[in-house]
Chain A
Amino acid sequence: QVQLVQSGVEVKKPGASVNVSCKASGYTFTNHYMHWVRQAPGQGPEWMGVIQPIGGAAYYAERFQGRVTLTRDTSTSTFYMHLSSLRSDDTAVYFCARNPYGSGSYFDYWGQGTLVTDSS
């Protein structure tokens, strides 16, 4: 079955960077784009960007341009989200979310989420 397993809780100081991983299994890795979505406490989800598994091209929401980098490792079927210059309002649960094959950018499977929180 499809599984997206994310890395654990991250506690960071303002100004630091964070890396979150998402290991995919149970499906053909190269068939599905992967998105990253975050959800701040009590808020609706917010789309951050998407990466193509073949070639690794990534596209970002304008508000995250320059701060977020999406990558993938095809040898381990793992996706990564790097967010730099963290601020207190970056405190949120970060999800990887799979795009169905050949479909528009909605999300059929989600990782369990990774809480990134402010240490201050």
Chain B
Amino acid sequence: EILLTQSPGTLSLSPGERATLSCRASQRVRSTFLAWYQQRPGQTPRLLIFGVSNRATGIPDRFSGSGSGADFTLTISRLEPEDFAVYYCQQYGDSPYTFGQGTKLEI
């Protein structure tokens, strides 16, 4: 099973700043099978990025994904108030498909 470790656990920033979230896998993720989700309090996860760097439908271009192998990054270029939430990475290259433990982005 591929373990995904996200860092930092909590990231404290202000609106307008840039956020960089990390996701490290315990082994190489097959192909580009890495996704990111946003979860606001009391809501369901929302797909942001699939295939490492492809934005899902309706996702603003301030969200971008990058990385390869076992190291991946989600960048939010200029934080908006609605971006403060928990973010999860997920690998879907090998079953069982696994998620990280999350990074909480707080003001």
B44 touches A106 (CB 8 A): no
Chain B residues with Cβ below 8 Å from A104 are: 33, 50-51, 92-93
Within 8 A of B (CB), among A93-120: 95, 97, 100, 103-108, 110-113
B97 touches A44 (CB 8 A): no
Given B50, B96, B101, B102, which contacts A106 in the complex, CB threshold below 8 Å? B50
Given B37, B96, B102, which contacts A62 in the complex, CB threshold below 8 Å? B96
Q: A45-B88, A59-B95 are in contact. Are A106 and B100 (CB under 8 A)?
A: no
In this complex, the interface size class of chain A, counting residues with CB under 8 Å from chain B, is 20 to 34
A44 touches B47 (CB 8 A): no
B99 touches A107 (CB 8 A): no
| Interface size in chain B (residues, C-beta < 8 A) | 23
Q: A106-B90, A108-B56 are in contact. Are A47 and B50 (CB under 8 A)?
A: no
Does A75 make an interface contact (CB < 8 A)?
no
A44 touches B99 (CB 8 A): yes
Distance of A35 Cα from B98 Cα, bound (Å): 13
Please list the residues of chain B having a beta carbon within 8 angstroms of any beta carbon in chain A.
33, 35, 37, 44-47, 50-51, 56-57, 88, 90, 92-93, 95-102
Please list the residues of chain A having a beta carbon within 8 angstroms of any beta carbon in chain B.
35, 43-47, 59, 61-63, 95, 97, 100, 103-108, 110-113
4 extra interface residue pairs, beta carbon distance < 8 Å, beyond A43-B101, A106-B50, A106-B92? A45-B45, A100-B50, A107-B45, A112-B44
